[in-house]
Amino acid sequence: MINWNIRLTDNILLFSIIVLSSFGLILLYSATNQDLDIVYRQGARLIFCFCLMLLIGFTDINKVKSISPYIYIICITLLIITLFWGHDSKGAKRWIVLFGFSFQVSEVLKIIIPMCLAWFLSFSEDKDMDLKKLVICFLIILLPIFFVIKQPDLGTSLIIFLCGFISIFLGGIRKKHIFYLLGIFLTMIPLMWKFILLPYQKQRILTMIDPSADPLGSGYHIIQSKIAVGSGGFFGKGFLNGTQSQLEFLPERGTDFIFAVFAEEFGFFGVLILFLFYSLILARCIHITNKSKTYYSKILSGSITCIFLLLILTNISMAVGLLPVVGVTLPLVSLGGSSLLSIFIAFGIMFSINRRN
Amino acid sequence: MKKSFLDFNRINIEKLFHYRFTILMIILSFLTFFLLSRLYYLQVLSFEHFDTLSESNRIKYIQVPPRRGIIYDRNNIVVADNSSLYSVEINLEIAKNIKKIINAIDNEINLTDEEKKNFYKKKLKYSHHNSIVLKSNLTQEEVAKILSIRYKYDGLDVTASLLRNYPYEEITNHVIGSVGYIDKVDLNKIDKKKYKNAKYIGKTGVEKYYENLLFGTPGYKHVEINAKGRQLRDLDKKNAIPGEDIHLTIDVNLQKFVYKKLKDYSGSSIVMNPKNGEILAMVSVPSVNPNNALWKNDQNTETTNFGKSPLFNRSLNGLYSPGSTIKPIIALSGLHNNIVDANDEFYAGPFFQLPDSSRRFRDWKPEGHGMVDMNKAIVQSCDVYFYMLANNLGIKKISSFFKNFSFGQLTGVDLPFESRGVLPSSDWKMKNIGNKWTNGDTVITGIGQGYFLTTPIQLAHAASIIANRGLIKTPKINKNIIYDKNENVIKKEEFLRNNISQENWDRITEAMFNVVNKKNGTAYWVTKNKSNKISGKTGTVQVYALSQDTDIREKDNIPDHLKDHSLYIGFAPKNDPEVVVATVIENIGSGSKYAAPISNQIINYYLDKIRKKY
């Protein structure tokens, strides 16, 4: 009875995850204008993902490691299917329906790619990263990204790339190579602007720089979100009392801008509490990473820790107008099954690694 | 050896991992800190700024236009009031797909192509309005049908608005005027804040002149709206103060009678009470029904263009030569200036000639009037007598004397757009025509022709000054207004009262009485009922100057628009006049044939049927 706690180990981590994800449901109730139907469905997804997390948590980490490449290949297949039979949403094919659930494969890549990279890097854990290894790593990252760009979904592609890069960085990419890559990236920017970016993507970036240029069009999201966050004040307007969210001035309240709903209704004080819980999770993740025994576990848990924080920062930066709207959800809180799935897979892995420690 | 190397390498790689992990966490922590300070800046430091923005997002200020004041006639009969009108509107700011909305409405209530076309026209024309009316005057059934689909379309709305209603239609049109949509010209003149959300503004007549009284004070409410602009609840409100009601001096029954008499002609007739300047009836024909103009989409296109300008208010803006109607005033001027004695007799032949000129100024009577004194000259409207008199007076004396009767000036009636007309003088001709004044000009001024132009209201005003023997009462239409006599009026009145002897007033009023009551009088035969002791003066104004040698009588076959105007001024009863009439009928014939009998019937109707009730 008492033992499973010890075996799954980290109570604080588990507690924080439960608190944050349940709170996410409550917040969703407000963000969807008290649409209980949506809340119930999200709750069901949450329970499913939570069970999956426990399942992975009790699985031996070596087993997880050994199935990593297969999962990677399944993901690539699903991406190709998405490209051909995906659902249209605002001009992009991002969704497929699996067993009656719509599913966004690109969300899961944020965790699958680091898994695959950690698996690959662990084969030659005693050698530092030469060019050959680096090229293979990049192929692992860029192959799925290619399909995501095709959807087209540039924002998610960038995030996925960053997730993969974090793993390579932790896996010991040479400094020299980092500078080369940086050089290539910087020269690519003008070329990308000219040849790869679609007009609406350019518009998003320009809008982020000056939202007031098009206050009713593409700047609307950012302006309304900033108003929501700012008008929350120190203590917020109170649960269900956020005028920006309840009167629907704020767009995409359940997903991209759920932080704005939160900040409006709970204020800066609430934001601090939210950060406190995230910090608890992160502290436990850092602890697990530092305690992990194998190279594979180190790379994977380190990556997951950094990616988790990266996603939080990206989502909140979007809501306060520091980043263009790239479609990153707030981990554990936002509406949506796919992002929930990837986060809970990640924590499942963390528990599994921790159990091994 | 190999293994220890491996271990060594492995330890290095693990070290590198921890080093890199630490770096990443430091970078991300730094970003977190930066983000938190950004949040602190937005939520704590800039709170008030964003709070204001958020409030202005959700709270909408809606101005509620006041109810327009009702207009009554002098007996409290309503002549302009408001009725409810349901119309379907599309709010351009909120509507996403206007075409789709119009199609949906079309499915419910069947719009005509014209209504759709007009909507797009108005959309261009009234781009400063948020909402454009698609169809007005909906039936209850249509309202219900549209309300049933309203929830599907943002920006589609059914509004109940007050509509101006004129129960006497074209009879009172020109005097009461009408309201119309606020257009871009109005926008430049009005207080935009006050007229926000108001649709109509007084365009003509009393509606325009008393716009400020009739409009009232708008109220407001603050409502909470959602992002789609739908109103959720009222936060606070202040009721609008309705516009003031106005009581006119018009007697609608008299107005009706006058209109009935005039409606087949073009022209104007004004009935006034000389004792207080109250306008009892004021008709301009042809007229239009102002009620139609309002729900038709564009008022002044089709109806206007049938030639006789029904929207033109002849009472205030029609400019006519006064013709012989001003002969009594010329005579008075001659008496006042001691140019002529009332009893002097002159020979009046068929024409008058200036010395050293071959031009013949013909009399209307081809054979001439023989020997005439002043009385006979007025009674028979002898032209030659007044040619001579005017020539002897000179234009300077004529125009300075006529000024006292407000010719060439505004009468000051409380109605908009009054015209001044022209009181000719040598200065005036120099300035406006560019030529020097000639003696010939003076001669024809003596019979009210030439450059002399008056409006019907000026004629009525002048007639009431004669009836009052110099007492000036500014014409008025609002019963409750009391004029302060301005300096100018006081000066005129002092001149007329103090410098003109009662004897001279008697002479010309007696002559005007004879016009109607003596066998030779120009209005004798056409006035059947003489019981009310009417005095008057006819006028026949040549529109078309016939050549010197043509006999004036030979003009039966000239086209309508070149026919003479028929004029008449009159008042009754003789000794204590209570009513004054001035009538102009365009392009019809002589004054004695048309204007005089109609005017005298009006006077009799007023004194017999209406005055008795008071």
- Residue B298 is predicted with a pLDDT of 46
User: Which of B39, B40, B59, B230 to probe by mutation at the A interface, max A CB count within 10 Å?
Assistant: B39
Q: Is the peptide bond before B573 cis (omega within 30 degrees of 0)?
A: yes
Q: What angle do CA B113, B118, B123 make, to 5 degrees?
A: 135
B86-106: per-residue pLDDT in tens?
888 888 777 778 888 888 888
- Residue B221 is predicted with a pLDDT of 87
Fold of B252-291+307-613: Beta-lactamase (3.40.710)
A293-323: per-residue pLDDT in tens?
888 999 999 999 999 999 999 999 999 988 8
pLDDT band at B159 (very low <50, low <70, confident <90, very high): confident
Could you give the CA distance from residue B18 to residue B25 in angstroms, rounded to a whole number?
A: 10
Q: Say if CB B179 and CB B164 are below 8 A apart.
A: yes
- Tokens representing B13? 């790689």
- Residue A218 is predicted with a pLDDT of 63
Of B25, B39, B50, the CB nearest to A286: B25
* Separation in Å, CA of A166 to nearest CA in chain B: 8
Closest-CA residue of chain A to B25:
A306
B185-234: per-residue pLDDT in tens?
888 888 888 888 788 899 899 999 999 999 999 998 888 888 877 778 88
Q: What angle do CA B193, B197, B199 make, to 5 degrees?
A: 115
- Residue B128 is predicted with a pLDDT of 61
CA torsion A61→A62→A64→A69, rounded to 10°?
Answer: 150
Q: Say if CB A319 and CB A250 are below 8 A apart.
A: no
Which residues from chain B sit within 8 angstroms of residue A310, using beta carbons? Answer: 28
What distances in angstroms separate CA B152 from CA B97, B142, B552, B558, one per listed residue? 12, 17, 75, 66
* Separation in Å, CA of B96 to nearest CA in chain A: 13
Look at residues B313, B274, B317 and name the one whose alpha carbon lies nearest to residue B570: B274
For CA atoms B233, B236, B242, B243, the dihedral sign is negative
DSSP string, B456-518: HHHHHHHHHHHHTTT-----BSBTT--PPPPHHHHHHHHHHHHHS-HHHHHHHHHHHHHHHHS
Q: Is the pLDDT of residue B551 over 50?
A: no
Q: Is the pLDDT of residue B252 over 70?
A: yes
* Separation in Å, CA of A297 to nearest CA in chain B: 12
- Chain B residues within 8 angstroms (CB to CB) of chain A: 6, 9-10, 12-14, 16-18, 20-21, 24-25, 28, 31-32, 35-36, 38-40, 42-44, 46-47, 49-51, 53-55, 57-58, 224-228, 232
Mean pLDDT, residues B324-340: 93
Which residues from chain B sit within 8 angstroms of residue A170, using beta carbons? Answer: 17, 20-21, 24
Hunting for tokens 């051909």 — which residue is that? A84
User: What percent of chain B lies above the pLDDT cut of 90?
Assistant: 52
pLDDT band at A268 (very low <50, low <70, confident <90, very high): very high
pLDDT band at A258 (very low <50, low <70, confident <90, very high): very high
pTM of the complete model beyond 0.80: no
Q: CB A271 to CB B6 under 8 A?
A: no
- Tokens representing B494? 């002092």
Q: What is the Rg, in whole angstroms, of the alpha carbon atoms belonging to chain A?
A: 20
Q: Is the pLDDT of residue B27 over 80?
A: yes
Could you give the CA distance from residue B440 to residue B458 in angstroms, rounded to a whole number?
A: 25
Sequence-distant contacts of B603-608: CB under 8 A, at least 24 apart: B603/B271, B603/B532, B603/B534, B603/B570, B603/B571, B603/B572, B603/B579, B604/B529, B604/B531, B604/B532, B604/B534, B605/B254, B605/B257, B606/B254, B606/B271, B606/B280, B606/B579, B607/B532, B607/B572, B607/B573, B607/B578, B607/B579, B608/B532
Q: Which residues contact B144 (CB under 8 A, 6 or more apart)?
A: none
Look at residues B375, B380, B536, B379 and name the one whose alpha carbon lies nearest to residue B463: B536
Q: CB A233 to CB B6 under 8 A?
A: no
Top pLDDT among B154 and A301 is at A301
Mean pLDDT, residues A85-107: 77
B335-346: per-residue pLDDT in tens?
999 999 989 899
Could you give the CA distance from residue A262 to residue A49 in angstroms, rounded to a whole number?
A: 23
* Separation in Å, CA of A229 to nearest CA in chain B: 6
Q: Is the pLDDT of residue A221 over 90?
A: no
pLDDT band at B142 (very low <50, low <70, confident <90, very high): confident
Q: CB B17 to CB A309 under 8 A?
A: no
Which residues from chain A sit within 8 angstroms of residue B225, using beta carbons? Answer: 247
Lowest mean pLDDT among A133-142, B44-53, B106-115, B434-443: B106-115
Question: What residues form DSSP beta bridges with B540?
Answer: B566
Helices (runs of H) and strands (runs of E) counted in chain A:
14, 3
Lowest mean pLDDT among A147-161, A196-210, B431-445, B552-566: B552-566
Q: What count of Cα atoms within 13 Å lies in the side-chain half-sphere of residue A353?
A: 30
Q: Is the pLDDT of residue A123 over 80?
A: yes
Q: Say if CB B245 and CB B69 are below 8 A apart.
A: yes
Which residues from chain B sit within 8 angstroms of residue A234, using beta carbons? Answer: 43-44, 47
B369-426: per-residue pLDDT in tens?
999 999 999 999 999 999 999 999 999 999 999 999 999 999 999 999 999 999 999 9
Lowest mean pLDDT among A100-104, A324-328, B178-182, B329-333: A100-104
Q: What angle do CA B151, B157, B161 make, to 5 degrees?
A: 145
pLDDT band at A108 (very low <50, low <70, confident <90, very high): very high
- Residue A86 is predicted with a pLDDT of 78
Q: Are strands B71-72 and B246-247 parallel, antiparallel or unpaired?
A: parallel
- Residue A91 is predicted with a pLDDT of 65
B282-321: per-residue pLDDT in tens?
999 888 888 876 544 444 444 444 457 888 899 999 999 9
Tell the burial category of B355 from Cβ atoms under 10 Å away from its Cβ (0-12, 13-18, 19+). exposed
Hunting for tokens 């008008």 — which residue is that? A231
What distances in angstroms separate CA A6 from CA A13, A279, A280, A293, one per listed residue? 12, 22, 18, 18
Integer distance in angstroms from the first to the last C-alpha of chain A?
A: 21
Q: Is A269 on the interface with B (CB under 8 A)?
A: no
Catalytic residues of B: 324
Fold of B61-247: Penicillin-binding protein 2a (Domain 2) (3.90.1310)
Q: Is the pLDDT of residue A271 over 90?
A: yes
Q: Say if CB B453 and CB B422 are below 8 A apart.
A: yes
B488-522: per-residue pLDDT in tens?
899 999 999 989 999 999 999 999 999 999 988 89
Q: Is the pLDDT of residue A3 over 50?
A: no
Q: CB B38 to CB A231 under 8 A?
A: no
- Residue B478 is predicted with a pLDDT of 94
What distances in angstroms separate CA B573 from CA B528, B531, B534, B576, B578, one per listed residue? 16, 9, 6, 6, 7
Q: Is A289 on the interface with B (CB under 8 A)?
A: yes
Q: Is A243 on the interface with B (CB under 8 A)?
A: yes
Amino acid letter, A338: S
Amino acid letter, B290: P
Q: Are strands B219-225 and B231-238 parallel, antiparallel or unpaired?
A: antiparallel
What distances in angstroms separate CA B202 from CA B179, B189, B312, one per listed residue? 4, 13, 16
Top pLDDT among B271 and B10 is at B271
What was the ipTM of the complex prediction? 0.91
Closest-CA residue of chain B to A274:
B36
Longest CA–CA span in chain A (Å) reads 61
Q: Is A124 on the interface with B (CB under 8 A)?
A: no
Q: CB B43 to CB A170 under 8 A?
A: no
Q: Which residues contact B160 (CB under 8 A, 6 or more apart)?
A: B84, B85, B86
* Separation in Å, CA of B63 to nearest CA in chain A: 22
